[in-house]
């Protein structure tokens, strides 16, 4: 019985040697691959050959690499620009240097066409395609797992914040301001997304703080404050096992450090404090100052600006503070 996956796999053979090209085409067809296209591997035609496939996407390219010819390397480079899937380099004289150079260009595997025979070709193609399918599945699962974690944590943050009506939108607001400051600092879109998540979960560790301390409207006693100060490390310990969120941990753990080293939990100072943690610390304080709490009214705009100026270089990273001040003044 012919494997359905083979029937539906689009395979391109790119090879300048006609006999080699014909051999691969026949062997693949015999093995059940019915969607095989074979062409010479001239650089000028690579783009056309790849885009001619169904939806512009093939499942595998067998590329006849002749390491002695510059043109062959040029074709391989162009292929990598046009094609994201697995490339199996066929041909001869694939010594270790050739393999290293080809691997850097994204070649997944190598096959000596002179020696492999039809069965060897079939086996190698099956192996490369299966490995690629597994890798794709793992990646999809990773992003689904990550999405699931994020959704669960978001719900938990909402539950946490719902205990105190004054902090209901705090984490979202800190995420918004963190992203705005991060953008001024020149972070990439990916970094801004991750920073936003870290900011959203910055107080996640409060889940481990007793309600009577969390909900207390009067000033905390020294003992209570010692307990409260544990929330960044509680978050770190709770989230440490969630591998897809690992890059967020330094920011969450250190969001109460101060530029002058008098923060907690590690008394980190200046640029020893992770950048995202410095950003979140600033956004967190700004949001707390400018919104109502059970123990205080929102500060006036002038007072907020004054506090930021005053704490620039002591509590907060001075450069980041300047970014926030600029944002606030531009949006006055
Ligand atoms: Fe906090």
DSSP characters over 216-272 = --SPPPHHHHHHHTTHHHHHHHHHTT-GGGGGGHHHHHTTT--TTS--SSS---GGG
Ligand 1 centroid, distance to 80 Cα (angstroms): 46
pLDDT of amino acid 299: 85
Ligand 1 centroid, distance to 181 Cα (angstroms): 18
DSSP annotation string for 119-182: HHHHHHHHHHHHHHHHHHHHHHHHHHHHHHHHHHHHHHHHHHHHTSGGGTTHHHHHHHHHHHHH
Give the separation between CA 151 and CA 61, rounded to whole angstroms: 38
Mean pLDDT of 74-89: 88
Ligand 1 centroid, distance to 280 Cα (angstroms): 9
Ligand 1 centroid, distance to 23 Cα (angstroms): 66
Ligand 1 centroid, distance to 278 Cα (angstroms): 12
Give the separation between CA 157 and CA 303, rounded to whole angstroms: 29
pLDDT tens-digit series, residues 232-247: 999 999 888 777 788 9
pLDDT tens-digit series, residues 172-190: 899 999 999 999 999 999 9
Residue 2 has pLDDT above 60, yes or no: no
- pLDDT tier at 54 (50, 70, 90 boundaries)? low
Ligand 1 centroid, distance to 282 Cα (angstroms): 11
Give the separation between CA 95 and CA 251, rounded to whole angstroms: 46
- pLDDT tier at 140 (50, 70, 90 boundaries)? confident
Give the separation between CA 313 and CA 233, rounded to whole angstroms: 25
Ligand 1 centroid, distance to 255 Cα (angstroms): 7
Residue 63 has pLDDT above 90, yes or no: yes
Mean pLDDT of 143-154: 80
Which domains, from first to last, does the chain contain? Answer: 4-137 (3.40.50.2300), 163-330 (1.10.3210.10)
pLDDT tens-digit series, residues 265-307: 999 999 999 999 999 999 999 999 998 776 777 888 999 999 9
Residue 319 has pLDDT above 70, yes or no: yes
The residues pairing with 312 across neighbouring beta strands, listed in sequence order, are 316
Average pLDDT in the chain? 88
């Amino acid at each position: 019985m012919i494997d359905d996956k083979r029937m539906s796999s689009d395979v391109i053979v790119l090879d300048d040697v006609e006999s080699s090209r014909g051999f691969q085409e026949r062997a693949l067809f015999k093995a059940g691959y019915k969607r095989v296209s074979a062409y010479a591997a001239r650089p000028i035609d690579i783009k056309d050959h790849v885009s001619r496939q169904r939806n512009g996407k093939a499942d595998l390219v067998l590329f006849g690499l002749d390491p002695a010819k510059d043109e062959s390397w040029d074709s391989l480079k162009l292929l990598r620009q046009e094609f994201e899937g697995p490339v199996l380099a066929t041909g001869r004289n694939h010594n270790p240097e050739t393999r290293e150079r080809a691997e850097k260009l994204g070649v997944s595997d190598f096959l000596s066409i002179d020696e492999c025979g039809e069965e060897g070709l079939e086996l190698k193609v099956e192996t490369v395609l299966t490995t690629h399918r597994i890798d794709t599945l793992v990646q999809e699962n990773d992003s689904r797992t990550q999405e699931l974690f994020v959704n669960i944590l978001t719900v938990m943050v909402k539950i946490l914040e719902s205990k105190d009506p004054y902090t209901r939108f705090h984490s979202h607001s800190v995420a918004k301001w963190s992203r705005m400051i991060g953008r001024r600092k020149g972070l990439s879109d990916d970094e801004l997304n991750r920073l936003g998540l870290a900011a959203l979960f910055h107080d996640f560790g409060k889940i481990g703080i007793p309600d009577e301390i969390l909900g207390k409207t009067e000033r905390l006693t020294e003992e209570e404050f010692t307990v409260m100060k544990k929330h960044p490390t509680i978050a770190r310990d709770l989230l440490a096992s969630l591998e897809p969120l690992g890059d967020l941990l330094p920011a969450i753990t250190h969001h109460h450090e101060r530029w002058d080293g008098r923060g907690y939990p590690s008394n980190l100072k200046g640029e020893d404090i992770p950048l995202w943690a410095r950003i979140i610390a600033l956004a967190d304080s700004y949001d707390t100052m400018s919104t109502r709490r059970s123990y205080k009214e929102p500060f006036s705009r002038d007072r907020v600006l004054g506090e930021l100026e005053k704490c620039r270089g002591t509590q907060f990273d001075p450069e980041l503070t300047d970014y926030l001040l600029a944002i606030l003044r531009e949006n006055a």
